[in-house]
Amino acid sequence: MSTDSRPIRADRSPVWISSSKWIFVGVGLVLALVPFIWMISTSFRSEKDLFGNPASLFPTEWTLHGYQGVWEQLPFVLLLFNTVIFAGVTTVLTLLFDSMCAYALARLDFRGKNICFWLVLVTLMVPFQVTLIPVFIELFHFGWLNTYQGLIIPRATSAFGIFLFRQFFVSIPRELDEAARIDGASHLRIYAQIILPLAKPAIATVAVLNFTALWNDLLWPLVVTSAPEMRTLPAGLALFGGQHVTDHAVLLAGAVISLIPIALAFFLAQRYFVAGVATTGLK
């Protein structure tokens, strides 16, 4: 009786399939990076070089004219400060209000809880532009146009954040709540000392998504603010390109600088994203 001592190997995909996957990934990566490379390189080009050879990815003559013009032709520090206040404060308030609402929907038992949750989901189907005019009218009556509170308060909560937090909180074992109540902990203490420390992946996800959306938001600051001293970076750059003879190097240099905080936010929160994916299947 003969036995085959050769090890059993798992079936492997053909070499051409593995190669094709890497080819598609490489092509997608190139298509995604080319606009960013062109934007960064154009910020170091002169107008003559840009219009003389617009298809070139790299300048024939490197210049810092664009980055010098950002500080000379734009109130860049003021625009950056307004953007930090708008995106930063709004993101913090969003994390607070969304997580508190999600805690009530996920961990508390009260009549109409499911109806409240479905109403939150329904608001996800309503485009922001539908409520833009009514909210603008309310801000006008409050006297909040061209103010930080007018920029921040209407954006201080989001239905998507509530949904994401609620789904994450539901996955946390309720035995933790019961053990804390035995020790005399209140709902506020359970929320602050038990639920939130376990929800770092959800907090990082909501924070990065909201911060990115608010940092790049153009429509809302354009509607709520008309004074130059209250404009954010996207609005300031857009109006700079529309009111003056556009210096593309300056415009793109401002765009490159404005991308740095978003890139840092993604890099800092990357490990929390990985942790959230890794713990998704755990009970």
Could you tell me if 40 and 86 lie in one domain?
Answer: no
- 108 and 139, same structural domain? yes
Output 1 or 177, whichever has higher pLDDT.
177
> Which of these three, 29, 63, 97, is where a domain ends?
63
47 and 182 part of one domain: no
Instruction: State the residue range of the domain holding 31.
Output: 15-63
Do residues 138 and 105 both lie within one domain?
yes
- Residue 201 belongs to a domain with what CATH number? 1.10.3720.10
Cβ-contact 52, 228 below 8 angstroms: no
77 with 136, same domain? yes
pLDDT above 60: residue 283: no
| Weakest mean pLDDT among 4-18, 81-95, 115-129, 133-147 | 4-18
Binning pLDDT at 50, 70 and 90, where does residue 12 land?
A: low
- Assess whether pLDDT exceeds 60 at residue 166: yes
Instruction: State how many domains the chain has.
Output: 2
Higher pLDDT pick, 78 / 19: 78
Asked if 252 and 39 touch (Cβ cutoff 8 Å), the reply is: yes
- Condensed to tens digits (0 to 9), the pLDDT of residues 20-49 reads 778 888 888 888 888 888 888 888 888 787
**23: in domain:** yes
pLDDT of 234 strictly over 60: yes
- Copy the structure tokens of residue 241: 């390109």
* 43 and 143, same domain (yes or no): no
- Considering the domain architecture, whether residues 55 and 173 belong to the same structural domain is answered as no
Q: What tokens does 39 get?
A: 């934007």
Residue 91 reports pLDDT greater than 90:
yes
**What confidence category does residue 15 fall into, taking pLDDT thresholds of 50, 70 and 90?**
low
Report pLDDT digits (tens) over 207-224.
Answer: 988 999 999 999 999 999
Note whether 179 and 249 are same-domain residues: yes
pTM for the full predicted model: 0.81
